[in-house]
Amino acid sequence: MFETLPTLVPDPILGLVAECKRDNNPNKIDLSVGVYKDESNHTPVMAAVREAQIRYLESETSKVYQPPGGTENFIGKVNELIFGESHPALKDNRIATVQATGGCASLHLAAKLIMRANPDAKVWLSDPSWPNHFPLLSSTGINIELYPYYDSESHSVSFDKMVSTLENAGAGDLVLIHASCHNPCGADLTKEQWRILTELAQKNGFVPFIDMAYQGFGLSLDDDAYGIRYMSEHLPEVVVCNSFSKNFGLYRERAGSLSVVVSDAQQTPTVMNQALNVARGIYSMPPAHGAALVETVLSNPDLRDMWHSEVNAMRERIVAMRSALADGIAALGCDRDFSFIKQQFGMFSFLGLTETQVDRLKTDYSVYIIKSSRISVAGINPGNLPYLCRAVSEVVKL
């Protein structure tokens, strides 16, 4: 039977990571993978998470299944983090939130739930978007459309074209929007642009489908949730997929959540029931450990304050590396302007290089980035920065 299966093309990012590991150049730099790294090029266990783990293990008395939607306290703390403690939709009991096994499962779970509610649903994705959005959503049979998002000439959001295209999104459609720190381009919506999109959703009837994987890495934990909170206050329905991989460093623990804002509190238990039924057919019961660490941190003021400080420090390091990269290239006399990198947010940015220039970075300098020229800014540190600046300034001369 299995001899009929064709060999698939390897994942391009995982392939680059493997290629970089085989590279013997002591100056090699891997900017391909979307994982936060500190100044020593290490992805640490956050101090708040480490302490939460100690406390949780000391209090854990059983490995029995936890509630399929997550513990009540976990859900409550997650809702407060995403929507704010006094959000009107929370007060009105219009939010159905369930634990998910990471952001990927949250997206897939949301797509399957949407298909149950409306088999003819269409999801509009930004062009570009995170590549994994396509398989996670389309594998459910949901229809995918694209809307323009990034202007490669101005290195900013192509908002007028975005709005013009989304005029075609109507009732029954969903528009997937990155909450902050857009992956892969790093160009984010302003508060005014969020408000304009909300007005368009009100007029046309489409449902915002918001993916938040980097809360706290853009401006702040609250500012990065602005679009979610504003839309959930002014629109009858919003879908939110959330991940704790980055801002808690829980990559391998697979902790996340799915929240559905509904128009009437009477719909909340039905949506919750349907979401749990979908999850039952995918992974049955969610893992406890990662969610328990999030719950422990958010439930203890001392750990929460520690976590806030750590998230702030990670964001500030990324911002500093953005500025240092742009300024470092400019200091070498490069005639290409990379100052746009300083105006973007989060872990990613397009350098605006051609595929030939990307290949030269790899073959001549052992700098590994994906062909679109997207870099993970979090992979830059003071030790590799001068070499990276020199490599980029040299390949753009060609």
Catalytic residue set: 130, 211, 246
- Greatest C-alpha distance within the chain: 63
CB hemisphere CA count around 379 (13 angstroms): 18
CA atoms within 13 A on the CB side of 275: 29
Judge contact between 32 and 10, C-beta under 8 A: no
Residue that has been written with the tokens 């509630």 in this structure: 67
- CA 318 distance to own-chain centroid: 15
Length of the chain: 398
Residue indicated by tokens 């979610």: 228
Helix (H, G, I), strand (E, B) or coil at 41: coil
What separation in angstroms does the CA of 203 have from each of 89, 149, 167, 170, 312?
20, 21, 9, 9, 37
Q: Which residues contact 287 (CB under 8 A, 6 or more apart)?
A: 101, 253, 254
Measured from the Cβ of residue 3, the count of other Cβ atoms closer than 10 Å reads: 4
Contact 248, 46 (CB under 8 A): yes
Q: State the number of CA atoms in the 13 A half-sphere of 22 facing the CB.
A: 8
3-state secondary structure at position 304: helix
Q: Which single residue is written with the structure tokens 């390091």?
A: 317
Give the amino acid at 393. S
Tokens representing 17?
């990571």
Please answer whether residues 181 and 345 qualify as being in contact, where contact means their C-beta atoms are separated by less than 8 angstroms.
yes
Antiparallel, parallel or unpaired: β 150-151 and 143-148 = unpaired
